[in-house]
Amino acid sequence: ATARLTIDPRFRVGEVNRRVFGSFVEHLGRCVYDGIYEPGHPSADEDGFRADVLELVRELGVSTVRYPGGNFVSGYRWEDGVGPREERPRRLDLAWHSLETNQVGLHEFARWNAKAGSELMLAVNLGTRGVQEALDLLEYSNVRSGSALSDKRIADGTAEPFDVRMWCLGNEMDGPWQLGHRSAEDYAKLASQTAKAMRQLDPRIQLVVCGSSNRQMPTFGAWERTVLQHTYADVDYISCHAYYFERGGDLASFLASAVDMDRFIEDVVATADSVKAELGSSKTIEISFDEWNVWDQDRFENVDKITDIEQWPYAPRLLEDVYTVADAVVVGSLLVSLLKHSDRVTSASLAQLVNVIGPIMTEPGGPAWRQTTFFPFALTSRLARGSALRVELETPAYRTGAYGEVPLVDAVATHDEETGATTVFLVNRNLAEATTVTVDVSGLGNVRIVETHTLNDDDPYAQNTLEEPDRVVPVENKSAALEEGVLTVELPPVSWTAIALG
Ligand code: AHR
């Protein structure tokens, strides 16, 4: 098969916001405990954080980290996680049926973020709590000093404000599984009141209102509409969440997951813009795609769920998906989808970061390693600079059970006007054959190939494991050649590729 595309700096979609390369740390399973935090580990630093994990997080190129949940936040009392550690309560976490020791809380996580070089993004609990608790957390976090809660933060050990700018107004409030789940109308009123109050305290903050937990939710569309009708003036972003996995052995459909993400984003944009017109507003709402990944939810339902009421395990092995090459190709293509919508998707979080559906895995007392999904994220975060460009793709299509006819190849490019650096990101969904892609790069002037990376394997189900942590790594694509303004490259079956030009 063959496909063609054009890279021209004039086909600009929008600036790539660094916040698109965010991730997510939830108090869930072994994400925090025995993930980022393991005081007894040989690599642990003075705060009990694993230095090997921190190094991988920096290599991953994570911009923002959403915290502390997720479903967890809807039952969380943030005060439990501050003050002397020996006095912190042990709580039952209803979301994941686990024991929460609160040894990591706001101060510890802010310190970890500083070490990781990432920005802290906080979610407030609008499940079991409301306006006052959100205000308290904001005062504690962002007010310099001279008030009860800012002075308490100082007494608790952090003199400077945490100065958190991105705030989520609850989590997945459309989901019946959510503690405090409510109707769109009820949530919208609470979110609007909370947002107004929080802005009264700190007008610099940016607020994310909950959109749908996925595009298949029965309330999808209507939820966004109602929520934005009530909160349009109060918020900056609406969230999208989506998880994909291979259902019933249908790899062809799974590889086309980004088609669903494209439609999801475009539907939410259309809904937000229709509310904008209805309200006569001049403001545009952006999308925070603040949970996205591959996650085998069938496995979660059947294997992971803890239901025994006598047992509330500490840091259990939950949602520890081991990713394949095909999963990594999908992750790469979901990043292509996010970049293609750079005009409206200006924040996103790969859910999650360590052990729990994470690109990084750890063993207690043992090593940390990169899952297959680590690579497309790290490379896209490093190479996608400047603006995202449309590429006017001409590609064969194939039929899928889940999404009908879909493009065989997907692609996006980025271009940095200052440095001239340009990168094209490509996905080949062909199960059996390579696809040769021709790229017209004449619009870029005199450029050459700087680096190429292709992720694929003869076995699309190959994985990196504790025993074989480097089984799958991206390799140079030696087929790439650039001559007289035309780049040609062969994309192996089920593969993800990045080619940087400069
Ligand atoms: O990331 C795992 C869970 O997925 C989150 O806690 C929740 O928000 C979503 O349903």
CA of 491 to the centre of ligand 1 (A): 33
What pLDDT does 303 receive? Answer: 63
Tell me which residue of 473, 298, 454 sits closest to 371, measured CA to CA.
Answer: 473
Tell me which residue of 410, 260, 437 sits closest to 333, measured CA to CA.
Answer: 410
291 labelled catalytic:
yes
- Report in angstroms the alpha-carbon separations of 483 from 198, 250, 488, 498: 56, 39, 9, 18
What pLDDT does 311 receive? Answer: 85
Q: Judge whether 9 and 20 are in contact, CB under 8 Å.
A: no
Q: Confirm or reject: Cβ of 172 under 6 Å from ligand 1.
A: yes
Tell me which residue of 369, 486, 276, 357 sits closest to 25, measured CA to CA.
Answer: 357
Angle between helical axes of 222-231 and 184-201 (0-180°, round to 10): 30
State which ligand 1 atom lies nearest to the alpha carbon of 70.
6
Q: Confirm or reject: Cβ of 351 under 6 Å from ligand 1.
A: yes
108 labelled catalytic:
no
Tell me which residue of 316, 320, 332, 393 sits closest to 95, measured CA to CA.
Answer: 316
What pLDDT does 308 receive? Answer: 76
Q: Confirm or reject: Cβ of 29 under 6 Å from ligand 1.
A: no
Q: Judge whether 79 and 87 are in contact, CB under 8 Å.
A: no
Q: Which contacts of 397-401 are long-range, i.e. CB under 8 A and separated by 24 or more positions?
A: 398/252, 398/429, 398/430, 400/250, 400/252, 400/253, 400/256, 400/259, 401/250, 401/252, 401/253
* Through-space distance between the first and last CA atoms of the chain, rounded to whole angstroms: 28
Q: Judge whether 211 and 223 are in contact, CB under 8 Å.
A: yes
Under 8 Å CB-to-CB from 70, ≥6 apart: which residues? 24, 26, 27, 28, 95, 123, 171, 291, 351, 352
Catalytic residue among 38, 172, 246, 286: 172
Using one digit for the tens of pLDDT, what is the confidence trace for 348-372? 999 999 999 999 999 999 999 999 9
CA of 302 to the centre of ligand 1 (A): 17
Q: Confirm or reject: Cβ of 290 under 6 Å from ligand 1.
A: no
**Which residue is associated with the tokens 């966004």?**
224
CA of 70 to the centre of ligand 1 (A): 5
What pLDDT does 300 receive? Answer: 72
Q: Confirm or reject: Cβ of 74 under 6 Å from ligand 1.
A: no
**How does pLDDT run along the chain (502 residues), one tens digit per residue?**
999 999 999 999 999 999 999 999 999 999 999 999 999 999 999 999 999 999 999 999 999 999 999 999 999 999 999 999 999 999 999 999 999 999 999 999 999 999 999 999 999 999 999 999 999 999 999 999 999 999 999 999 999 999 999 999 999 999 999 999 999 999 999 999 999 999 999 999 999 999 999 999 999 999 999 999 999 999 999 999 999 999 999 999 999 999 999 999 999 999 999 999 999 999 999 999 999 999 998 877 766 666 677 889 999 999 999 999 999 999 999 999 999 999 999 999 999 999 999 999 999 999 999 999 999 999 999 999 999 999 999 999 999 999 999 999 999 999 999 999 999 999 999 999 999 999 999 999 999 999 999 999 999 999 999 999 999 999 999 999 999 999 999 999 999 999 999 9
> Structural domains in the chain?
17-383 (3.20.20.80), 389-501 (2.60.40.1180)
Query: What is the dihedral angle through the alpha carbons of 95, 96, 100, 105, rounded to the nearest 10 degrees?
Result: -70
ipTM entry: 0.99
Nearest protein Cα to ligand 1, atom 1: 351
Q: Confirm or reject: Cβ of 352 under 6 Å from ligand 1.
A: yes
- Report in angstroms the alpha-carbon separations of 398 from 79, 218, 252, 254: 53, 28, 9, 13
Amino acid making up residue 52:
D
CA of 156 to the centre of ligand 1 (A): 30
Using one digit for the tens of pLDDT, what is the confidence trace for 136-163? 999 999 999 999 999 999 999 999 999 9
What pLDDT does 305 receive? Answer: 67
Nearest protein Cα to ligand 1, atom 7: 70
Q: Are strands 495-501 and 422-428 parallel, antiparallel or unpaired?
A: antiparallel
Quote the pTM value.
0.97
Separation between Cα atoms, residue 346 and residue 21, nearest integer Å: 10
Separation between Cα atoms, residue 324 and residue 321, nearest integer Å: 9
Q: Are strands 206-209 and 409-415 parallel, antiparallel or unpaired?
A: unpaired
Q: Judge whether 306 and 235 are in contact, CB under 8 Å.
A: no
Q: Confirm or reject: Cβ of 26 under 6 Å from ligand 1.
A: yes
Nearest protein Cα to ligand 1, atom 4: 70
Nearest protein Cα to ligand 1, atom 6: 70
Q: Confirm or reject: Cβ of 70 under 6 Å from ligand 1.
A: yes
Other C-beta atoms closer than 10 Å to the C-beta of 87 total 7
Other C-beta atoms closer than 10 Å to the C-beta of 412 total 29
Nearest protein Cα to ligand 1, atom 3: 70
